[in-house]
Amino acid sequence: MNPLLTGRGRTLAQTDPGWSDDAWSLSSDGRKISLPGSNGRQVQILDTQSGEKSGIEPKGWSNVLWTSWAPDNQRLYISGLFGSGLRVALLSLDGRETVLLDVAVGQGDGPQIFTLPLTGAI
């Protein structure tokens, strides 16, 4: 078999083909992948070594749309729908959340926050 066609290893997970290409994130150490969970209210974590899956459900979120690992590989930047607005937060692996930005729907340029990559430490 041609390795370019089959890949180098086992499949860790599959997502809905309609899912946003930039919704997932690989940790800087390459050990974990984060992505919004299938129920929308959860962040799914995949261990690239073992293939184990776990989830974090931040309280009060109706839809997590985007995830990105913080440089320490222990926290995630997440954004999505919270209550009647939009939220960006820093989420620890034990579920503790630090709100970075809340935008009420209809105010300012809220929906654009989902397309801006967050980089560096806050």
d(CA 34, CA 23): 8
Q: Would you give the distance in Å from CA 77 to the centre of its chain?
A: 7
Place of tokens 């926050």: 113
d(CA 107, CA 85): 9
Structural contact between residues 105 and 113, judged by C-beta atoms closer than 8 angstroms: no
Place of tokens 């690989």: 26
Q: What is the pLDDT of residues 22-52, one digit of tens each?
A: 678 999 999 999 999 888 899 999 999 898 9
Residue 60, number of CB atoms within 10 A of its CB: 10
Amino acid at 38: S
- pLDDT greater than 50 at residue 70: yes
Is the pTM for the entire model greater than 0.85? no
